[in-house]
Structure 1
Amino acid sequence: MFETRTYDDELVLPSHIRCRWKFLETSSAAAVLRSVCPEEWANILEVLEGFALEPTEWLKKGGNRGAIAKKIDKMFSDLGWQEMRVDLATRGILLTKSGKEIGSLPEMYQEGYLVDNFKGRVALDVEWNAKDGNLDRDLSAYRAWHEAGVISAAVLITQDRLELKALAENLWDGYLHTLPEESRDAKLPIDLNTSTTTNLEKTSLRVRRGVMGTCPLLVVAACAETWNGQPYSPVSTS
């Protein structure tokens, strides 16, 4: 397993961005992105710097493509990233000792899946509240694409579930204390107790088993420091 920490380098990832997110990487992913894919890396830094976790968007139902994932995807889309399906086709060519082509083997075709954001040689998914099985699909695809020479690195944006769970409970408690006493038994609109959705812990378990091979992967997780500092206040529908 090639776990590294090149994101700790100020020249790679500025501290004012680094202090607002949690990171995990393999094979020097942040440094690879900065050096090999500078435009895409600049886009990633712009999104990480510009995004803040807003309680009204965050603490509401929405599933794996809820407001948070859609907002981050929109930020990348505005910078020229596209949702893209990546398939692989491999054809064996038969050559004589002198190098003359005399035939070929049947083409092997591997169907991929829709990556949330793709640009240049970088694949980037936002896995916020999806089933954690999505991580197996994502990570195995990144490795296959890297080994085939299709991508230089991959990025996965997710959340630190336990840290955000504690923050959400505090925000909700603060909101309840603004309500009349008879209304203070209201429940959070999202389930904070499930551990089977995509998050930093689930991703780390897979990455640390060595599933990425030599593929550079940068995992970015929203945490308490990603919060914009505002209290929870539901949007009025009147």
Structure 2
Amino acid sequence: MEQEQEQEQEQGEVLEDDVVDLAGAVRELSTDNWPTGYVYGATRYADVILRESFSDRARDLEKALDNFAPTLDELRSGGGGRTVFVKRFDDSLEAMTAEGGQRIWGKQNITISKSIALDGTTLRTTRTRGHEIDMFGRGTLDAPIPGIAVEMEWNNKDPFYDRDLINFQALHHEGAIAVGVIITRGPGLQALIGPTVRSKDGGFKYGQSTTHWDKLIPKVNLGGGGECPLLLIGIEPERIQGVQLAVRTKDALEKAEEFKSNWRKSYSRWKDAKPVHDQMVSEARDLMPPVNEEKNANSDED
């Protein structure tokens, strides 16, 4: 049984409720009624902590997730800099305020200072600066820490996950955050747009080496994030407006591949079948050609 559980972790699978918990492993949520159109996972009961101990911040996050609906055109045209719909998500959190209108969410630089003293005299001070948290939600106005850290990793190289997880681990260890949240492309969305959305140079915009669910889960299951409770959220196709075009494109590409696998049923030579296959691929690609990428003036990473 233990060997099977280890194999599941190596494959990046989310453990189900009837599997004995492994410390820090990604499990299905213990709470219900989260916004639809996402896949969820949690470590160390992060969803319970968020709902029970930080209910206001949980409601803020759920509202932002409910309202998040990027378009397929935005996915296709997003270029360098900060993607417009990622910024829109962050802005929706930042617009949420506490009673009285006080600001409760926003970018935050968190600095941890440590000192060594003898008989009350400080002899050495070291300062460790955590990277800027994209969205930090204060616990309360009176007691801002521990708070909630939220990072959306839409389309970066997957080492950005390591940065976030290391930072969450350090900040949780020092009591600065109670829960770390990472939002990224879900497995269904990656399977859909990975082979269909292309950049203007003809390559694929959302490659396997970039940030998506199946890259994140193994990192966490191998200990990423340490003892920090993590809520992991994968964006799925249901959240994307106009996604039907990508579905049609993928279906057409799959028909071309099916023809290639069975070409001998209709042709005796691949030389004769290849032009038909190439035409099918070309027609599929023409359904969703590359578009000009829009660069945002904000150069922050997504």
Q: TM-score, normalised by structure 2?
A: 0.62
Matched residue, 2:253: none
- The letter for the 2-side match of 1:206 is K
Q: Answer yes or no: is 1:208 the counterpart of 2:221.
A: yes
Which gives a bigger RCO, structure 1 or 2 (Cα 8 Å, sep 6+)? 1
Alignment equivalent of 1:48, drawn from 49, 65, 78: 65
* 1:61 match: 78
- The DSSP-based 3-state class of the residue aligned with 1:3 is coil
Counterparts of 1:41 and 1:3, CA distance in 2: 22
How much has 1:196 moved relative to structure 2? Answer: 2.1
Q: What is aligned with 1:179?
A: none
CA–CA distance in structure 2, aligned partners of residues 147 and 85 of structure 1: 16
Number of the residue aligned with 1:89: 113
* Alignment-mate amino acid for residue 119 of structure 1: G
Cα distance in 2 for partners of 1:61, 1:228 equals: 15
The Cα shift of 1:169 comes to: 7.1
What is the aligned residue count? Answer: 209
The answer to whether structure 1 residue 164 and structure 2 residue 177 are counterparts is no
Q: How far apart, in 2, do the equivalents of 1:34 and 1:64 lie? A: 33
> 2:179·2:230 contact (CA, 8 Å) conserved in 1?
yes
C-alpha change, 1:168 and 1:6, in structure 2 (3 Å) is closer
Q: Which runs of 5+ in 1 are unaligned?
A: 95-100, 173-186
Tell me the equivalent position of 1:118.
136
Residue 148 (1) aligns with residue 174 (2): yes
For the structure 1 residues 145 and 193, does the alpha-carbon distance in structure 2 shift closer, same or farther, using more than 3 Å as the test?
Answer: closer
Match in the other structure for 1:20: 37
Is contact 1:59–1:168 with CA below 8 Å preserved after alignment? no
Deviations 1:110-156 (A, max 9, x none): 12211111111011111101121111111001010001011111111
Q: Report what 2:24 is aligned to.
A: 2
Rounded Cα–Cα distance in structure 1 between residues aligned with 2:80 and 2:232? 21
Aligned twin of 1:228: 241
> Are the counterparts in 2 of residues 20 and 223 from structure 1 also a CA contact under 8 Å?
yes
1:109 and 2:127 correspond:
yes
> What's the CA shift string for 1:68-89, capped at 9, x where partnerless?
3122112112224211111211
Q: Tell me the C-alpha RMSD between the 2 structures.
A: 2.7
User: Structure 2 CA distance, aligned partners of 1:92 and 1:169?
Assistant: 51
Q: Report the more deviating stretch, 203-212 or 136-145.
A: 203-212
Deviation of 1:159 after TM superposition, in Å, equals 0.5
* Larger displacement relative to structure 2 (103-112 or 21-30): 103-112
The runs of 5 or more residues in structure 2 that have no matched partner are: 1-22, 97-103, 139-146, 246-287, 293-302
Work out the CA distance in 2 between the residues paired with 1:43 and 1:78.
10
Match of 1:136 among 162, 168, 175: 162
Deviations 1:88-122 (A, max 9, x none): 1112455xxxxxx5434512211221111111101
